[in-house]
Amino acid sequence: MRTTPGPWIVNSHGIIEVHKIDNEHGNRKCIAICDVSDIPNEEAFANAALISIAPDMLEALIAIQEAAQMDMLDAESIEKMISDVFAKLANEAGA
């Protein structure tokens, strides 16, 4: 599976966008635009926040899958990965 690596951030300069930041060069690459014309701003921000943590969710799912394949599921570690993803979502959403 090929994806644009994170981290992704939410930008709200007129349009709610999700960007990949190239820290080395300071460039931004637009990943998604959450249009606010048909939905409330709050919902658009929530959508953008969910999109912005997609790389973290994918990373957690891959780690869980690899642990399951090796019969090394540790419920505490899995709970921590999931909690970390939810915490990032809450932070992006401003909750």
Give yes or no for a contact between 10 and 52, defined as CB atoms under 8 angstroms apart. yes
Residue 14: is its pLDDT beyond 60?
no
**Residue-level pLDDT at 95:** 60
* Confidence band of 20 (pLDDT split at 50, 70, 90): confident
Give backbone dihedrals phi and psi of 79, rounded to 5 degrees, phi first: -60, -40
Q: What is the DSSP secondary structure assignment for residue 36, as one 8-state letter?
A: -
Percent of the chain scoring above 90 in pLDDT: 0
Span 29-39, pLDDT tens digits: 878 877 767 77
**Residue-level pLDDT at 63:** 84
